Amino acid sequence: MGGETEGPKPPSLTVLVADPSPDNADSLAWVLGACGHRARTAGTVTAALAAAAAEPPDAVVMEVLFPDGDAFDLSARLTAGRPARPLLVLLTGRTVPGEALPTAGFDAHFLKPADPALLVDLLAGRVNRADAGPPK
């Protein structure tokens, strides 16, 4: 009608959502896609590693336990020998009363159900740092 043009699209990230629950993975991938990111899902450590090898992710959001391993093994294998380290986010509902979940090596940790806006804000910070280019 009015000759309106769309402005440039905001930069997006390739995000791998690794969660053995298809419902959890798919719903989070949908939210991230609606926010402009390219989100893929994987339900096992093996599938996540294959997806990351096919297209290296900018960020990986992962649950702690998988049928074939855990997030700690997955994060170590995702970052070993790679020049660009993805943003690593632990998103889990698994807690042990009175015991802290080890989160060393992760950039952020959220307990389910997490506010999707917090995760989107975290990813936006990653996009903004990438847009700034190398330090001068």
Q: What is the sign, positive or negative, of the torsion defined by CA atoms of 114, 116, 120, 125?
A: negative
Q: Is 23 a member of any domain?
A: yes
Query: Containing domain of residue 88, as a range?
Result: 19-94+102-128
| Among the listed residues 124, 90, 129, 92, the one whose alpha carbon sits nearest the alpha carbon of residue 107 | 90
In a domain, 25, yes or no: yes
Domain for residue 4, yes or no?
no
Report pLDDT for 135: 37
Decide if 49 is inside a domain. yes
Q: Is residue 114 part of a domain?
A: yes
In a domain, 57, yes or no: yes
Indicate which CATH number applies to the domain containing 53: 3.40.50.2300
In a domain? residue 134: no
Per residue of the chain (136 residues), what is the pLDDT tens digit?
A: 555 555 445 568 999 999 999 999 999 999 999 999 999 999 999 999 999 999 999 999 999 999 999 999 999 999 988 788 899 999 887 665 555 566 668 899 888 888 888 999 999 887 655 444 433 3
**pTM of the full predicted structure?**
0.82
Domain count across the chain: 1
Report the C-alpha gap between 81 and 112 in whole angstroms.
31
Is 115 a member of any domain?
Answer: yes
- Which amino acid, residue 70? D
Terminal Cα-to-Cα distance of the chain (whole angstroms): 45
**Pairwise CA distance, residues 95 & 25, whole Å:** 19
